[in-house]
Amino acid sequence: MTVKVTARGAERWKQGHPWIYRSDVADEPEKRPAIVPVTDRKGKFLGKALYSPSSEIRLRLLTRHDEPVDAAWWSARIAEAARRRNGITATAWRAVHAEADGLPSLVVDKYGPFVVAQLLSAGLESAREQVVEGITQALQPDGILLRNDVGVRRHEGLPAEVLLAAGEVPEVVEVMEDGVKYLAAPWSGQKTGAFLDQRENRILVGQHTRAGGRALDLFTYHGSFALHLARHAKEVVAVDQSAEALARGAENARLNGIANIAWREANAFDLLRELERRREQFDTIVLDPPAFAKTKANLERAVAGYKEINLRAMKILAEGGVLFTSSCSYHVSRDVFTAMLVDAARDSGRRMQLLAATGAAGDHPELLNVPETGYLKGVLLRALP
Ligand code: SAH
């Protein structure tokens, strides 16, 4: 089966974006998910793509060559992507970051000898066996877990499910990250078991943590920032509204022999207000909230939420103290996030020095042609005396 696209669809591929939308498909003879050859209206070959017959994103370009897309093809592409990550010393890292690695809708994360992958389109799901075989050949893991319990699969007409695709994958995997150990939960944790995208930011903040000072980690989840802070600070307060997440954090601390973290179950918004009222001060603060803007529609409210926590964090930052603040809302652009921080700095009356503007770790690259590949923004600030 060959799918034909309009001139506008073809132009998108020329400009380096792999998606062709429903409105730019001219002819789709058979509505079945597959890897299909794609041509223009006149029949000129343009490439091979993942085809999702019930998704707005109908086609995702895999290759411009007329070549078989089989297990060997997937293996070569996955191995190439993994090679681009040479030099990561942490034992958990992302080997394939979907569109940004030229493998649309495929995520492959390594947790030591295990792989946790996500197949996020119907076209890709139709090639599951070959993809799993490709991962096996390229990475030789002890097991492959598919964390296909992701909301976006709904748009593709796919079920949300967690499946063991090969070998064995344990409930818990110990990860080593710049001298800190933590437990990832491939079957049940957020994303594929941990927030790998913040790895470099955690290390950066660790380096800027005031030795012997007080630190505050808000939205700590399993404490992965708190653990890096605790190696330098005298005491760390780690806050989350989920008692279950905090219990995991405490377990991680014990694993490292770290005893200077106080785990506090609270709503971060309420706690910040209380800390401000009590005039408490912290030398190092981390803000890593969940995405406040899940859609474009609630952007304004989301930005107000970001501003509230950032403003209050600036107010309780000690002189010379450092604030790391981030947003993983795709709909909050870098510009909007920076403008919000400028606003918060003004309202707080503090002079905030910009030490670094960061994104996701290097194994989660952004492709300039595909803005959808970027979502995480981080900013490191210091309060001038
Ligand atoms: N910093 C973590 C990831 C944070 S994920 C890491 O690097 O691994 C976001 C966390 O915020 C979740 O654990 C969630 O339970 C928590 N959370 C969400 N809303 C909250 C709120 N209003 N107050 C406190 N915690 C909240």
Kindly state the average pLDDT of the residues 315-344.
97
Mean pLDDT of the chain: 97
Mean pLDDT calculated for residue range 77-90 = 96
Question: Mean pLDDT throughout 329-347?
Answer: 97
The two structure tokens encoding residue 133: 């075989």
Catalytic residue, chosen from 139, 258, 328, 376, is: 328
Is 205 touching ligand 1 by the criterion CB < 6 Å? no
Residue 268 Cβ contacting ligand 1 at under 6 Å:
yes
How is the beta sheet containing 282-287 ordered, strand by strand? 261-265, 235-240, 214-218, 282-287, 317-327, 377-383, 352-358
Q: What is the pTM of this model?
A: 0.96
* Distance separating alpha carbons of residues 368 and 27, to the nearest angstrom: 30
Residue 339 CA to ligand 1 centre (angstroms): 23
Distance of alpha carbon 241 from alpha carbon 127, whole angstroms? 40
Q: Does 328 participate in catalysis according to the annotation?
A: yes
**235 three-state secondary structure:** strand
Supply 319's token pair: 């002189």
Q: How far is the CA of 287 from the centre of ligand 1 (A)?
A: 9
CB of 141 closer than 8 Å to CB of 168: no
Residue-wise pLDDT tens digits, 129-159: 999 999 999 999 999 999 999 999 999 999 9
DSSP string, 300-341: HHHHHHHHHHHHHHHHTEEEEEEEEEEE--TTS-HHHHHHHH
Residue 317: predicted pLDDT: 98
Average pLDDT of the residues in 172-178: 97
Question: Is residue 187 within 6 Å of ligand 1 at its C-beta?
Answer: no
Q: In this predicted structure, what is the pLDDT of residue 73?
A: 98
- Report the pLDDT value the prediction gives residue 165, as an integer from 0 to 100: 98
Choice from 241, 269, 364 to test ligand 1 binding pocket (greatest atom count within 8 A of CB): 241
At residue 232, what are phi and psi to the nearest 5 degrees?
Answer: -120, -40
Measured by CA distance, the residue closest to atom 13 of ligand 1 is 221
